[in-house]
Amino acid sequence: MIPTPGIGEPDGRMGLQTQVTPIGEEASAFHNGPLLWLCGLISAFVLILLLVAMVRFRRSANPTPSRNSHNTAIEIIWTLLPVLILVGIAIPSIRLLRHQYSPPPADVTIKVTGHQWYWSYDYPDMGVTFDSYMLKEANDPNRQPNQRARTDNDGPPLFAVDNRVVIPAGKVVKFLVTADDVIHSFAVPAFWIKQDANPGQVHETWVKVDRPGVYFGQCSQLCGARHGFMPIAVEVVPQAQFNQWIGQQGGKLPGGAQVVQASAPLATATPAAAAPTAGSAIAATATNQPATAQN
């Protein structure tokens, strides 16, 4: 699949990327609407107060200063008003957090592991596992002869990868995020996700993306010399195409079902899939490139 310019990638404009998940839409509407207005109004109000104080109460215009030290009414107002503003911000913020941290049941579960300096992805219910490396430019002197160079169909420089993580459109996808060496961070701005990947810990985040497309992110935790060269590329495809892709990777859908249920097959499918996974994963990685290019 070819990325759409301006969707799921930085394009130089100001503000947040166009959001494609329910959480992202809710959060960006909150940020671009009430929060920005509130910030602007408060800043303007404080600036006006400062200017009034500087002009009206300067020493030459106001030679005998007021000796007042208390004004109960104004003290109540300047305590109560900020409290009300903060409560007004807190209510939608906490509602948003609740939505973010109480995900619906997952249709697909993907384990994401950060390494110095690449990502690897496991679909434990489907027996698919592969690594994902940044594609180097054609003229990069460090590019090995057997490494494919980036083309514009892969995505922007520093974002395109050899093996994208593929997820079905309109389905709840749970990412279990961890790392095997240092702290990384799995972040895709268009999904409103940024989850630290800590060695020895598993954190969880989730997305539901209705719009098929390619969405890019980057490791967002300073993790070492090549931290800037471990991008994330997520390809969202219709369910049928996802099923086909799983087949191409040598994996299989749990129970052969059309809609994948994450909870049931975990216990049964994993031991059975564990052995063939190692072999098929290598085959899958080897054959993945043409498959991705076709899409």
58: Cα within 13 Å, side-chain hemisphere: 8
Binding site for Cu ion (CB under 5 A): 184, 219, 223
Q: How far is the CB of 117 from Cu ion (least distance, A)?
A: 6
What string of DSSP letters covers 47-63? HHHHHHHHHHTSTTT-S
Q: How far is the CB of 23 from Cu ion (least distance, A)?
A: 23
Return the structure tokens found at 114. 């950060």
Q: How far is the CB of 14 from Cu ion (least distance, A)?
A: 26
Q: How far is the CB of 154 from Cu ion (least distance, A)?
A: 20
Q: How far is the CB of 223 from Cu ion (least distance, A)?
A: 3
User: Of 216 and 242, which has the nearer Cβ to Cu ion?
Assistant: 216
Q: How far is the CB of 83 from Cu ion (least distance, A)?
A: 40
User: Of 169 and 193, which has the nearer Cβ to Cu ion?
Assistant: 193
Q: How far is the CB of 49 from Cu ion (least distance, A)?
A: 45
User: Of 109 and 185, which has the nearer Cβ to Cu ion?
Assistant: 185
State how far the Cα of 221 lies from the Cα of 230, in Å rounded to an integer.
11
Return the structure tokens found at 152. 């514009």
State how far the Cα of 212 lies from the Cα of 20, in Å rounded to an integer.
10
> What is the biggest distance separating any 2 CA atoms in the chain, rounded to whole angstroms?
88
User: Of 219 and 232, which has the nearer Cβ to Cu ion?
Assistant: 219
H-only helix segments in 35-152: 36-56, 72-101
User: Of 116 and 261, which has the nearer Cβ to Cu ion?
Assistant: 116
* Bond prior to 117 in cis (omega within 30° of 0): yes
User: Of 152 and 180, which has the nearer Cβ to Cu ion?
Assistant: 180
Q: Please say whether the beta carbons of 71 and 122 come within 8 A.
A: no
State how far the Cα of 110 lies from the Cα of 176, in Å rounded to an integer.
6
Report strand pairing: 172-179 vs 108-115.
Answer: parallel
> Distances in Å between the alpha carbon of 208 and those of 19, 24, 135, 172, 283?
11, 10, 27, 5, 29
Return the structure tokens found at 254. 């749990």
User: Of 219 and 262, which has the nearer Cβ to Cu ion?
Assistant: 219
